[in-house]
Chains A and B, each alone.
Chain A
């Protein structure tokens, strides 16, 4: 009898104690007690977990290392492939920029027809300034055709094979170009030098020559079309006793960085040799 009547009371007391404990815990009054009880448990759990992870790592490490090495090799190969791709794309970008500039030049000079060609080599003799291009007679190129870039005059074709040609640069010591000075309009002769520099010769003493004057082809002699830009006067050599003035020239074309050039294919140079009187003829 007593047992059955006391059971609900026990339950109520138990619930009340539990609620009290929860309220005390929520109020923070049991923290020291819980810390005292839980700390050893947490420490033990941490220690066991660390040992377990260590053993697990130890057992699975060889597989991971071989997998990581394989992955590393794959990634290194991928990096190398992407790096070569970047270099290739940069090269293509440079070529595209050059071609774009050449197209602009061709559009700005619609009176001429052009054949683009890549520079594939330089003359093996250090005394000469010639370059080889990858277009030849199969592409309509002929000896004497002028070669330009978007900046200005490069030279003219000296020899042609079926699929290549040799271009004499205007910096070659044997090269001479008839030129016109702007704005003075004076005529002169441009000569190449062994050093690769350009020398303006046969400038009349009365010509008003100034540093910075533009130098363009005059078209005289029929070797080159008129009005192709060559460069600017960078220095003047003039002495009173000389018949002509001389000047040095800063070319607009960087001859050490030639990559792609344009050949003017609708220009035919004139052969003036028969018009030059031979020695002894009246």
Chain B
């Protein structure tokens, strides 16, 4: 059930990202809705389908971008791995872990994108990319991190209701 739910949710986010979010950048940066959702999902205590959601997000991100194949998979994979690691350690303030995962995930995604594009012969100027793309994207992702986390927490508590001792 939780895995199947990834398809409509992440699919809708991919559509939203291509049709709307990518059209309204801050400087040249845009928020990464799928990164936000998979990070928030992986940080929920009872969730056991974080990797499945990551794969679905990776497939959708690869289909909706001309970035070299693998960049999205690796970036989302690192973000999910970090989220799962932090979930076990920072269990009293998971929203702080969310900020840390988003910060790392955004920097990793953009860093890998620049490296991969340069490897395939696309000369992205690093400093310009950092100033105009990465920092604005990071700001937008961090602004959306907390609302996304609580929305996904609601979804998780709906899917995995708390057990009541009788």
**Chains A and B bind each other:** yes
A contact set with B: CB distance below 8 Å = 120-128, 130, 132, 158-159, 166, 168, 173-174, 194-196, 256
**A194 with B17: CB separation less than 8 A:** no
**A166 with B124: CB separation less than 8 A:** no
**B113 with A121: CB separation less than 8 A:** no
* Bound CA span A35–B65, Å: 93
Chain A positions within 8 Å of B58 at CB level: none
**A124 with B29: CB separation less than 8 A:** no
A-B contact pairs, 27 of them (CB 8 A): A120-B18, A120-B19, A121-B15, A121-B64, A122-B19, A122-B22, A123-B64, A123-B65, A124-B17, A124-B22, A124-B32, A125-B66, A126-B25, A126-B29, A126-B30, A126-B133, A127-B113, A128-B117, A130-B65, A130-B66, A173-B117, A173-B123, A174-B121, A194-B129, A195-B28, A195-B128, A196-B28
* Bound CA span A195–B124, Å: 10
Q: Is B67 interfacial (CB-CB < 8 Å)?
A: yes
A175 — nearest CB in chain B belongs to which residue?
B122
Of residues 7 to 53 in B, which have CB atoms within 8 Å of A's CB atoms?
14-15, 17-19, 22-23, 25, 28-30, 32
* Bound CA span A132–B63, Å: 11
**A126 with B28: CB separation less than 8 A:** yes
**A132 with B18: CB separation less than 8 A:** yes
* Bound CA span A106–B91, Å: 63
Interface centre among B22, B110, B129 (most CB of A within 10 A): B22
Interface centre among A120, A122, A166 (most CB of B within 10 A): A122
**B117 with A121: CB separation less than 8 A:** no
- Contact A128 to B133, CB < 8 A, known contacts A194-B125, A256-B23: no
Chain A positions within 8 Å of B29 at CB level: 126
> Shortest 5 CB-CB distances between A and B: which pairs?
A121-B18, A122-B22, A174-B122, A125-B65, A124-B65
- Over the window 106-136 of chain B, the binary record of Cβ atoms lying under 8 Å from chain A Cβ atoms (1 yes, 0 no) is 0000100110010001111100110011000
A257 — nearest CB in chain B belongs to which residue?
B23
Q: Is B61 interfacial (CB-CB < 8 Å)?
A: yes
Number of interface residues of B (CB under 8 A): 31
CB-based A-B contact count at 8 angstroms: 76
- Contact A166 to B128, CB < 8 A, known contacts A123-B18, A126-B28, A194-B28: no
**A121 with B22: CB separation less than 8 A:** yes
Chain A positions within 8 Å of B67 at CB level: 125, 127-128
**B66 with A158: CB separation less than 8 A:** yes
B14 — nearest CB in chain A belongs to which residue?
A124
**Shortest distance between the CB of A255 and any CB in chain B (Å):** 11
Chain B positions within 8 Å of A126 at CB level: 22, 25, 28-30, 133, 137
